A and B are shown apart, each in its own frame.
Chain A
């Protein structure tokens, strides 16, 4: 077993220990002191802590890569860490609030993700995303919940005249300095904005502002407006971490999704 794998397994063991309330704290504290003494990578450790899948995986440092035309290159395998859980308080209209309440009361049994349907935009679960950028196209490959993809057209084309409703929407992007601004429309109303069932309508309009301040980080400011479901636009941010040694992997959700028939709710 490689050292990296051993470390990963130890991470799993530690999390298991937490879940079963084993007394790992004393061991952990002694190592924390050692880390503090060495002063190495404390900031990186802090942010990595937000990613349960890779708490021990360092996020690389260095300048953000550039495309030949000088624009930032957002390509890479990114983990959302726990940032996908952060939406803030979305200002819902009464009907949407009621629907949200019902979905929570049902313990999210009807979450489309549980039925192997796409997560939509901007929802992302813990699954990785791979960004592949060319001068005229950004492709975002989702490892999960099912394999799905977004094509963000950077060639100046306008939105489709009308389309959908679509699970992943119609996305076009343009550069605002070093920030890629992605505009997405024509989303369906079937996806949930979080695992608890935060609803939206088919008038959801999403604007994502992607920045890569350095090699290892992707900062995304997301503004959602939905005149049918929200009372006003809502903006929140997420930070993804680069995982240069990882790759997105096959994930065929319907292979053995026995969960669907056992999701009973309350």
Chain B
């Protein structure tokens, strides 16, 4: 099926960029550093379908075989579901590349996972399937 984008969507994108809306229940800038971008490649550990934000946990293996888990904050489950997602939209073990922003405080979550905010997830077949940014002041670039 051909990809179809409509005019409303294009305008919407413009407005999204211009209006810097609050997409989250909290200030993005108070928690994440829009200048500290990160791209990690790994496998899905789990999609945690929790409020106020879903979290995408990604296992990243280094050269020595050591696995580090990253936790990427995403939109709320409600917002994701209105974009056609559900709790099974990412499969455990699936290869992904996640682009995001690091947490400002540099502290891990309670389970030890590295804390960041997701912007986009690219699946193994190259599809960029997901905008997970909960940035209320999405960087302009």
**Residues of A at under 8 Å CB distance from B?**
1, 4-6, 8-22, 24-25, 27-29, 31-32, 35-36, 42, 44-46, 48-56, 82, 84-85, 106-109, 111, 113-114, 116, 125-127, 143-145, 195, 246, 249-253, 255-259, 262-265
Contact = CB atoms under 8 A, between A and B. Distances in A.
Interface of B: 1, 3-17, 19, 21-23, 25-27, 29-31, 48, 50-53, 55, 73, 76-79, 81-85, 99, 103-105, 107, 109-110, 115, 119-120, 127-131, 133, 136, 138, 141
Contacts of A9: 83-85, 129
A52 B21 contact: yes
Contacts of A114: 25-27, 30
A256 B55 contact: yes
Given A16-B128, A17-B128, A85-B21, A10 B105 contact: no
A141 to B, nearest CB: 13
Nearest to A4: B84
Contacts, number: 211
B130 A253 contact: no
B93 to A, nearest CB: 21
B52 A251 contact: yes
Nearest to B30: A109
Nearest to A55: B12
Contact of A19 (B31, B84, B120): B120
Of B27, B133, B138, most A-chain CB atoms within 10 Å: B27
In the A-B complex, list the 4 residue pairs whose CB atoms are closest, starting with the nearest: A114-B26, A45-B8, A108-B27, A5-B84
A195 B27 contact: yes
B130 A16 contact: yes
Given A48-B8, A85-B19, A262-B105, A16 B78 contact: no
Nearest to B115: A262
25 contacts: A5-B84, A9-B129, A10-B3, A13-B131, A14-B10, A20-B119, A25-B10, A32-B7, A45-B7, A49-B11, A49-B14, A49-B15, A50-B12, A50-B15, A52-B15, A55-B8, A82-B19, A109-B27, A111-B27, A116-B25, A256-B55, A263-B27, A263-B30, A263-B31, A264-B105
